[in-house]
Every structure is written in C-alpha cells, then in structure tokens.
C-alpha cells in the first residue's frame, strides 16, 4: 500500500510548496527525463535515466505549473461548475504528482544521502504549496459554492462525482480553509514544521538501522543459527570488508538471530540495539522529534476546532471517533489477555524445564518460544523454508490471482528498473486487456527502509475519455539468496508477501475516473482489508498445492506438514494480539493528548503500554523513537486500523470458506464491490454490498482461538 513519505504527507494533510530556483541544480528539458515525455513500455518511469540532479528542477517546474493551474481556476470568469473547478483541481499539477511519486517512492526504496538532503530542501516548498491551495479564499469560495448548490442547480452528479466533490470540500475545510488572520499564519508554521520533522524522524530510524552490525569472529558464537543465516552474515561481512560474520537490524537477519542464537549475551545486544533505534542520544535521536510531532498535531487539531488529533483524524475513518477505537481495543484486550498470560507462562515454564534459571527477559522470548513451538508442533521456519522458494511463491501467488480474478502476469525485462533486484511484469485480464505494471523488489539493502509496503507510480484514472492503467510496486525485505541456496522464505515472509500483494490487487483491479478515489485511496481503517484478507490463503492446502514444493526434490508440501502449520497458526496468538494492541494504544496515547507533552516520551509510553506489558520493561529501550508508522508513515491515530480491518477480513473470508476458497462468484463479488471500487463510495456501503450484512467480531475471535465456534 502507499506508505512512502509522499502519501504519508498527503494523509497528514501537510503535503505541498512554493517555487524556488536552486542555481546548482539547473537542468533544462532536453537533459531532464522528468520533464520529457517517456518513450518506455506503458509510459513507465525511465529509472535508467533519472539522476539526483534532475529532481529539484522537476519539482520547481511542477510547483510552478501547479500554481499556474490554480490561478486559471481561481480567475476563471465563468460561474463555478463541477468541471471547471472540482475536476480541474483533480487534474492540476500532473508534473508535480509524477515527480513526487517517483522521488518519494525511491526515497523509501533506494535512497542515499543526496536524496535525503533533497527531501529536506523540497519539503518546505511542498508544504507551502499545499497551504497556498487549501488557504486560498477565492478557490475555497468556488468549491463551497458548488458543494452547497449542486443539488439546487440539478447537476445530476453520479456517485463518483459526488464523492469527489465531498472529499474536495472536506479537504479544504479540514486543512485550514476556514481559518483567519493569525490562526492561518500559525497553521502554516505548524504544517511546515511537521513536514520536516516527519521526514527527519524516518531518516533517523533508517540511519540507526543501517549503522549497527553485530560482528562475530568466533565460530562458537554462531551456535544454533541456521546455515542460510550464517551464509548471509558471511556475505554481509565480506561486503563490508570485515572478517567473520556480520548480522544487521534488517528483519531477515535480526528476526532469525533472536530466534536461534544460543548465545544469550549476543541476543541481548541485538535486541537492545533494535529497540534503542532513535533513542541513543546521538544525531539520530528521535526523543524530542516524537514529542514535537505529537504536540504540533494537537495544536493543528485545536486550531481546526477538534479536542484532540485523534478526534480530527477519526472523523474521516470508519471508526468515526476515539471512543469506538478504544472500545474495539478494549474488547480485544479483554479477549486476548488471558490467552496472552497463558502463552507467556507456558514459554517461561518451558525455559525453566530446559535448565534456564535466569530472569526471563524480552531477548529470551523469541528463542524459547520458537523452541517450544518446534517441540510442540514439530514445525519451524527452517523445516518450512525448503517449500517456499521465492520464485515458486511468486508463481503461486500469481496463480491465485489468476484463479480468483483471471489475471495473467508476464515478466517484461524491457521496463527500466531502479535496482537490479527489481523485477517487472505486465498484467492482463483473461480477455487480454492490459491492467497494470507490477514492480517486485524483495531484498534488504542500505538504501531501503525496513518492512514491507505497496505503493504506486501511477493510479487508475480516465482523462479525456482515455483510461490510464496503474503502475504498482511491492517492496519487501526478504531472505536473500546465498552462494549455495536460492531465496527460501519463512512462513511469515510468505504471509507478508500475500499481505502486500492484496494491496497490489487493490491497485491493479481499480476502476474509476479520478485517481484520488481509486485503488488504495480509501479510509485508513479500510485499506488493510484487501491485504489482510489475502493472508487467509496461507494455511489453505488448495492454495499451497499451487506452489509449495521442495526446492530440491520437487515434492509437494504434505498434508501432514500443512496440518502442523494450521495447528501452530494460533500459537502465542494471545501474546501477538496483545503486542499489536499495545502499539494501537501507544498511538492513541500520543494523539489523544489535550495538553502539550512536557515530560519525556518514556513516561507516555510506560503509561500507555503498562497494562499490556507481560515481559520486563527495559528502561533504556523504546518503541516510540522508531515508531515510523505513526510519526512518519501515515498511521497517526490509525494504527488500530490493522485490528479494525482484521474484523473485516476474518468476516469476509468466512464467506469464502463457506462457498469455497476459489469460488468464482464470491471472488467476483469481492472484486466488484471492494477491489474495483476504491474510495468511490463509503466503505461501510461497499462491505455490506459484498457481505450482505454488517461485519461482526465473532469470526476474528474464532480465528484467533479466543472463542469457540
């Protein structure tokens, strides 16, 4: 989904700018590919030609054109109409949008010091432009005129047009259009600060992640680690001109190290390094930045007439208000806590049975819980990896998309890419119609943020009667191939791939006229439905039979092994749920403040997460200082959305289970009512149209094992 900085800033309502020439980055049209028409397959970005020096001139020209377009709308002597104002606004700034989509996507996927500096230079310009648009009194007057009078004038707008009109009007009113005098000035100042702080927060976390390696030279310290992880660590050390083995804080290295390393002192070092990111008192420290962001967001909410930032955000979410969010989190907390307590007690007792006599600490959790899981269910990541060769998983997921929606994927090596690891595909439907381009980017590198996300370089839209299909990208950080083995994924990585591919399908199958309403341009607590829905297939034998075969023998994964996966699926689900809820509660704590945070972030984190804390808290370690989801990732007052969407995806998949997981009619209904519609209608309307009823929490509680059928 769209989680890179560009979309983050849009979601925060602070993206925008003012033209300013940089004399050191002049670039004319002839040598700047961003300012030219692209002669590439499907007009995909010419990544092989774009250089850092091209960005600032393209931003400046895009900003200039955006201002020019706004002036034309404002100074149009004709009576405001849907076409000359609302649609004109939707289409304005094409060059700027194109430049932003490329730059900010790569800022997350293939960044460098120069790009990060460009981001800091261009962000104030973008914020200024956004403010100049949303605070333009004449422009808002035109928008409000249409909004208040379209029914009286008998405009007969269709459903999509009505939604665009409503979203446009609310965008202005929720971004300061009704402010006057000093309040307008204050709004401008705050949004400018927020734009820079959010970028800086994300850059600091990436810098902290890249800066740390655990370097091992004694082979005895590798005890317990899987062979593929050791090989990867050796390759990392070699690339860094070091002896021995280097382990990093990127997930494919960090997660298995915590699970398998028998050296407890080294597990502690890795755990603390990861959980101190942004909290080390150095140039990358995020303590004050996190506090400033929370305080500034509260000020913006107050300026706009809301009690808290959560009230402001949730007004435009399915949840509607903080009370409903807290009700959901508390319901799930009450259901999950007994199970979580049992999970922790079971793992600690198991550790004691293995002669572990130390105080049980957070860096012991993954190690002993994985050992218990292996003994209890006779299944673990290393047993499953051989069945999840990356290329086979890709083919399996493509087959699933074909089975459900008739999509055909063909690799297209003619499409330029921004890194050699990236693969590109043409997607056509069963009738041969071109649907989208898909980029797949799987492996960690220093220029890439951690985690996994879907985004787009172009959304679905219709311009002058011509349909323009999407360009979609899925970015992950999976286990890399080694000199002796291909990329063999863990079960969790397969699940992550399915998750992001669900977001991709939301973009690929989009239908609509206006890009701002298509694909993943939906309410934040609805956007995770298509992604989390896809995760359900992970434990279905009919799906696994499509691709899960041993990479050496070709033997299909057995029913016995699938049964073990299913049996282990809810292992420690109580603990995992409580952990996820703790993040949602922390998010709400920062965004429900009614007075500025004057103390330190340790205090607010301790208070908000205390009731979910089942393992000892470590004073020097924090979640807040690396919580990019809420401080730079668009999930402010929205992290609960994962659990909100889980109630929807569990309920939705129960219909597939009832009718058959590959049932064409059910899949067609899901496609037509959810995936194709994007944000053209309210998500509650779309979901009920698909499901035939309101969603309930029951299916989720049953799936998690918290409630019996």
pLDDT for 20: 33
pLDDT for 29: 74
pLDDT for 153: 72
Provide the CB-side half-sphere exposure for 453 (13 A, CA): 22
User: What are the residues facing 436 on neighbouring strands?
Assistant: 427
CB-neighbour burial class of residue 154 (10 A; exposed 0-12, middle 13-18, buried 19+): exposed
The whole-number average pLDDT for the span 250-271 is 97
Closest CA to 278 of 268, 289, 269: 289
Rounded Cα distance, 83 and 81, in Å: 5
Asked if the 389-547+642-704 domain carries CATH number 3.20.20.150, the reply is no
Rounded Cα distance, 364 and 347, in Å: 10
Mind listing the pLDDT tens digit for each residue in 536-560? 999 999 999 999 999 999 999 999 9
Q: Of the given ranges (16-20, 266-270, 437-441), which has the lowest mean pLDDT? A: 16-20
Provide, rounded to the nearest whole percent, the portion of the chain with pLDDT above 70: 96
Q: Hey, is 454 helix, strand or coil?
A: strand
End-to-end CA distance of the chain: 33
Both structure tokens of 129: 């432009």
pLDDT of 56 higher than 70: yes
pLDDT of 3 higher than 80: no
Would you say 388 and 489 are in contact if contact means Cβ atoms under 8 Å apart?
Answer: yes
pLDDT band at 4; cut points 50, 70, 90: very low
Mind listing the pLDDT tens digit for each residue in 461-482? 999 999 999 999 999 999 999 9
Domain range list for the chain: 5-205, 212-275, 389-547+642-704
Mind listing the pLDDT tens digit for each residue in 179-189? 999 999 999 99
Rounded Cα distance, 489 and 498, in Å: 12
Rounded Cα distance, 448 and 482, in Å: 19
pLDDT for 152: 78
Annotated catalytic residue 382: no
pLDDT of 696 higher than 90: no
pLDDT of 387 higher than 90: yes
Rounded Cα distance, 231 and 227, in Å: 6
The whole-number average pLDDT for the span 614-618 is 96
Both structure tokens of 552: 């050496």
pLDDT for 708: 78
Would you say 540 and 660 are in contact if contact means Cβ atoms under 8 Å apart?
Answer: no
Rounded Cα distance, 318 and 308, in Å: 18
Catalytic residue among 110, 160, 232, 500: 500
pLDDT of 12 higher than 60: no
Asked if the 5-205 domain carries CATH number 1.10.1370.40, the reply is yes
Q: Hey, is 214 helix, strand or coil?
A: strand
Residue 627 DSSP label: -
Rounded Cα distance, 576 and 332, in Å: 12
pLDDT of 1 higher than 70: no
Centroid of chain to Cα 56:
26
Mind listing the pLDDT tens digit for each residue in 125-179? 999 999 999 999 999 999 999 999 988 777 789 999 999 999 999 999 999 999 9
């Amino acid at each position: 989904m769209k989680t890179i900085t560009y979309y983050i800033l849009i979601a925060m309502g602070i993206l925008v700018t003012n033209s300013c020439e940089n004399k050191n980055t002049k670039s004319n049209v002839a040598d700047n590919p961003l300012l030219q028409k692209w002669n590439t397959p499907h007009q995909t970005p010419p990544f092989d030609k774009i250089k850092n020096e091209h960005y600032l001139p393209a931003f400046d020209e895009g900003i200039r054109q955006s201002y020019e377009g706004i002036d034309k709308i404002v100074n149009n002597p004709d009576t405001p109409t849907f076409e000359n104002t609302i649609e004109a606004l939707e289409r304005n700034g094409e060059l700027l949008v194109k430049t932003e989509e490329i730059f900010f996507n790569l800022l997350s996927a293939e960044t460098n010091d120069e790009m990060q500096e460009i981001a800091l230079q261009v962000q104030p310009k973008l914020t200024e432009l956004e403010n100049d648009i949303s605070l333009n009194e004449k422009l808002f007057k035109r928008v409000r005129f249409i909004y208040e009078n379209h029914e009286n004038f008998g405009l007969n707008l269709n459903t999509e047009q009505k939604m665009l009109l409503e979203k446009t009007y609310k965008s202005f009113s929720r971004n300061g259009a009704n402010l006057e005098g000093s309040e307008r000035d204050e709004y401008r100042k705050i949004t400018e600060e927020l734009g820079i702080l959010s970028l800086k927060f994300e850059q600091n976390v990436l810098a902290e992640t890249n800066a740390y390696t655990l370097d091992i030279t004694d082979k005895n310290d590798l005890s317990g680690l899987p062979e593929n992880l050791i090989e990867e660590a050796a390759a990392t050390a070699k690339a860094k001109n070091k002896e021995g083995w280097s382990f990093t804080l990127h997930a494919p290295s960090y997660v298995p190290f915590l699970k398998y390393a028998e050296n407890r002192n080294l597990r502690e070092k890795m755990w603390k390094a990861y959980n101190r990111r942004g909290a080390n008192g150095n140039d990358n420290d995020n303590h004050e930045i996190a506090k400033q962001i929370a305080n500034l967001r509260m000020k913006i909410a107050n300026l706009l007439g809301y009690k808290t930032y959560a009230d402001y955000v949730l007004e435009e979410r399915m949840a509607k208000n903080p009370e409903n969010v807290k009700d959901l989190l508390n319901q799930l907390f009450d259901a999950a806590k007994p199970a979580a307590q049992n999970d922790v007690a079971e793992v600690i007792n198991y550790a004691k049975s293995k002669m572990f006599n130390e105080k049980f600490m957070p860096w012991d959790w993954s190690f002993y819980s994985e050992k218990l899981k292996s003994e209890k269910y006779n299944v673990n990541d290393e047993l499953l990896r051989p069945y999840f060769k990356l290329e086979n998983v890709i083919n399996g997921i493509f087959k699933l998309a074909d089975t459900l929606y008739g999509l055909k994927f063909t690799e297209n090596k003619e499409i330029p890419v921004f890194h050699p690891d990236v693969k590109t595909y043409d997607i056509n439907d069963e009738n041969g119609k071109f649907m989208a381009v898909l980029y797949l980017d799987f492996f960690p590198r220093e220029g890439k943020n951690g985690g996994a996300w879907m985004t787009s370089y172009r959304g679905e839209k219709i311009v002058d009667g011509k349909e323009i299909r999407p360009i979609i990208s899925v970015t992950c950080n999976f286990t890399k191939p080694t000199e002796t083995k291909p990329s063999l994924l863990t079960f969790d990585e397969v699940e992550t791939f399915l998750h992001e591919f669900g977001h991709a399908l939301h973009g690929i199958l989009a239908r609509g006229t206006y890009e701002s309403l298509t694909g993943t341009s939906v309410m934040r607590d609805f956007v995770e439905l298509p992604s989390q829905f896809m995760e359900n297939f992970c434990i279905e034998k009919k799906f696994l039979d499509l691709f899960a075969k041993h990479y050496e023998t070709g033997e299909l994964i057995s029913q016995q092994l699938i049964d073990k996966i299913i049996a282990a699926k809810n292992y420690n689900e109580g603990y995992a749920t409580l952990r996820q809820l703790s993040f949602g509660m922390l998010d709400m704590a920062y965004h429900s403040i009614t007075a500025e945070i004057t103390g330190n972030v340790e205090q607010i984190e301790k208070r908000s997460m205390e009731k979910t804390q089942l393992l000892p808290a470590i004073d020097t370690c924090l979640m807040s200082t690396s919580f990019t989801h809420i401080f730079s990732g668009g999930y402010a007052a929205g992290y609960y959305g994962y659990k909100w969407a889980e109630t929807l995806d569990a309920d939705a998949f129960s219909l597939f289970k009832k009718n058959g997981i590959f049932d064409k009619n059910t899949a067609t209904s899901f496609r037509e009512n959810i995936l194709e519609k994007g944000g053209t209608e309210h998500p509650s309307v779309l979901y009920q149209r698909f499901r035939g009823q309101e969603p309930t929490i029951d299916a989720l509680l049953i799936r998690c094992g918290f409630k019996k059928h």
